[in-house]
Amino acid sequence: MNFTTNLLLQLHRDLFKFAGGGDAGRWKTADNVISEKRPDGATIVRFAPTPAWKTPDAMNALHIEFVAAAASNIDPLILIGLYILDFLCIHPFSDGNGRLARIITVLLLYREDFEVARYISLERLIENTKESYYDTLHRSSQGWHESKHDPMPWVSYFLGVVRAAYGEFARDVGELKDGRGMKTQLVLWAIRDRVGDFSISEIHEQCPSVGLAMLRRVLRAERDAGRIGVIGKGRASRWRKIEFAANVACSDERG
CATH code at position 232: 1.10.10.10
Of 124, 141, 174, which residue is a domain's last? Answer: 174
Q: Are 83 and 62 in contact (CB under 8 A)?
A: yes
For residue 27, what is the domain's CATH number?
1.10.3290.10
Query: What average pLDDT does this structure show over 72-95?
Result: 95
Q: Which of 135, 127, 132 is nearest to 102 (CA)?
A: 127
Is residue 138 domain-shared with residue 225, that is, in the same domain? no
The residue range of the domain holding 226 is 179-254
Does 115 have pLDDT greater than 50? yes
Query: What average pLDDT does this structure show over 73-99?
Result: 95
Residues β-bridged to residue 240: 229
Of 174, 202, 220, which residue is a domain's last? Answer: 174
Of 174, 200, 221, which residue is a domain's last? Answer: 174
Residues β-bridged to residue 92: none
Is residue 69 domain-shared with residue 151, that is, in the same domain? yes
Instruction: Categorize the per-residue pLDDT at 60 as very low, low, confident or very high, splitting at 50, 70 and 90.
Output: very high
Q: For residue 16, what is the enclosing H or E element?
A: helix 5-16
Is residue 197 domain-shared with residue 97, that is, in the same domain? no
pLDDT at 177: 53
Residues β-bridged to residue 228: 241
Is residue 149 domain-shared with residue 228, that is, in the same domain? no
What's the alpha-carbon Rg for the chain, to the nearest Å? 20
Distances (CA, A) of 16 to 93, 111, 200: 11, 24, 22
Is residue 79 domain-shared with residue 30, that is, in the same domain? yes
pLDDT at 176: 56
Does 48 have pLDDT greater than 50? yes
Query: What average pLDDT does this structure show over 13-38?
Result: 83
